[in-house]
Structure 1
Amino acid sequence: MADGLNDARAMRVAEIMTDFRNLQCYIAQIRATPTAEEYYLEGYCLLRQCASEAQAVLSAPFSATNTSPGGNAETEKTQLRSIIIDACVRRFQCQRAYLRAHAGQRWMNSRNAILRGQKAHAGHFPALQAVDNNLRVELAGISDEHVDYTLRSQDAAQGKWLAEDPTLATIQQILSTRR
C-alpha cells in the first residue's frame, strides 16, 4: 500500500545524487604532478587510487530495479527505495575516496612545504618521514564507520529525510557482493 512518501523519496534521491556529483567533481579536480622519482611515493599512489576508485563508481552500472512504475504508487515506492540504496552506496564509496584523497592532498602540500621546490635530501628525511607517518595515521582513521558518520551527521545537520537510507551494515553487505 502506498504510504504518501514517494515525493520525499524522490527528493532524497536528488539530494544523494547532488552529494555524489559534488564528490566526483572534487576528486576529478585533484591535480598532482610528481616528478619521476616521486611518482611511486605513498601519497601520490593514494591520489591516483582515489581518482580511479571514483571513476569506477561512476562507471559501475545502476543496480536498482529497472521497471517502469506506470503510475502505480507501490511500484514507484519500491523503485525509489531501490534507487536510494544504490545512490547511498555510491555516495559512500565516493565519500571514502574523497576523505582519502583529501588526506593525500594534505600529505602532498606538507611535503611541498618541506621541500620548497628542492629535491629531497638527507636533511629532509625526518620531516618527510613524519609527513608519511601522519598520512598513515589519517588513513587508518578513515574507517567505514567514520565515512558513514561523516555522511549521516552532515545530512542530519541539514535536516534531510534519512528514514530509508541504508544502514552501514547494509552498505557493507552490498559492497562485499560487488567485489
Structure 2
Amino acid sequence: MSDGLNDARAIRVAEIMTDFRNLQYYLSQLRVTPTAEEYYLEGYSLLRQCTSEAQAILDAPFSAATTSPGGDAEREKAQLKSIIVDAAVRRFQCQRAYLRAHAGLRWMNSRNSILRGQKQNASHLNALRAADSTLRMELLSITDEHVENTLRCQDAAQGKWLAEDPTLPQIQQILMSR
C-alpha cells in the first residue's frame, strides 16, 4: 500500500532539479581568458576542470529506474525514490564543482588585484604565492562532508522535505560505483 507521500516526493524531485539546473547554469557561465603564460596556472586549470565536470554530469546517463508506473502508486513511489537519489547525487557533484569554481574565481580575482594589469615580476612573487596557498587551503576544506552540509543546511533552512534524500555515505557509494 502506498504511503501517500508521492506528491511530496515529486515536489522534492522538482526542488533538487531546480538546484541542479541553477548550479549547472552558473558553471556554464564561467568564462575566463588567461594569457598563454597563465593558462596552466593552478586556478585557471581548476576552473577548466570544474566546467568539464559540470558537462560530464550532464552527459552521464540517467541511472534511475525508468519503468512506467502506469497508475500504480507503489511503482510510482519506487520510481520517485530512485529519481530523488539520482538527482541528489548529480546536485551533490555540481555543488562540489560550484564550490571549487568559486574558490578558483576568488584566486583569479586575488591574482588580478595583485598584478593590477602588470606583467608578473619579482615584486609580486610573495603575494602570488600567498594567493596560491590560499587556493590550496580552500580546496582542502571542500570535503564531501562540507559539500553535503552546505546542501542540507540550505534545504533545512528552506523547510524542504528531506526524509528520503540519500545520506553522504550512500552518495559516496554511488559515485564510487560509477
Calculate the TM-score normalised by the size of structure 1.
0.99
Tell me, yes or no, if structure 1 residue 39 matches structure 2 residue 13: no
Identify the residue that residue 121 of structure 1 maps to in structure 2.
Answer: 121
Structure 2: segments with no counterpart, 5+ residues = none
Structure 1: segments with no counterpart, 5+ residues = none
The structural deviation recorded for 1:30 is 1.0
The structural deviation recorded for 1:29 is 0.9
Q: 2:116 is aligned with what amino acid?
A: R
CA distance in 1, matches of 2:141, 2:155: 21
Instruction: Give runs of aligned pairs for residues 41-80 of structure 1, distance below 5 A.
Output: 41-80=41-80
CA distance in 2, matches of 1:12, 1:164: 9
Q: CA RMSD in A?
A: 0.3
Identify the residue that residue 156 of structure 2 maps to in structure 1.
Answer: 156
* Cα deviations by residue, 1:15-64 (Å, 9 ceiling, x for unpaired): 00000000001111111110000000000000000000000001100000
Runs of 4+ that moved beyond 3 A: none
CA distance in 2, matches of 1:175, 1:89: 8
Number of aligned residue pairs: give it: 178
3-state SS of the aligned residue for 2:173?
A: helix
3-state SS of the aligned residue for 1:66?
A: coil
* Cα deviations by residue, 1:120-157 (Å, 9 ceiling, x for unpaired): 00000000000000000000000000000000000000
Calculate the TM-score normalised by the size of structure 2.
1.00
Identify the residue that residue 12 of structure 1 maps to in structure 2.
Answer: 12
Of all paired residues, the percent bearing the same amino acid is: 77
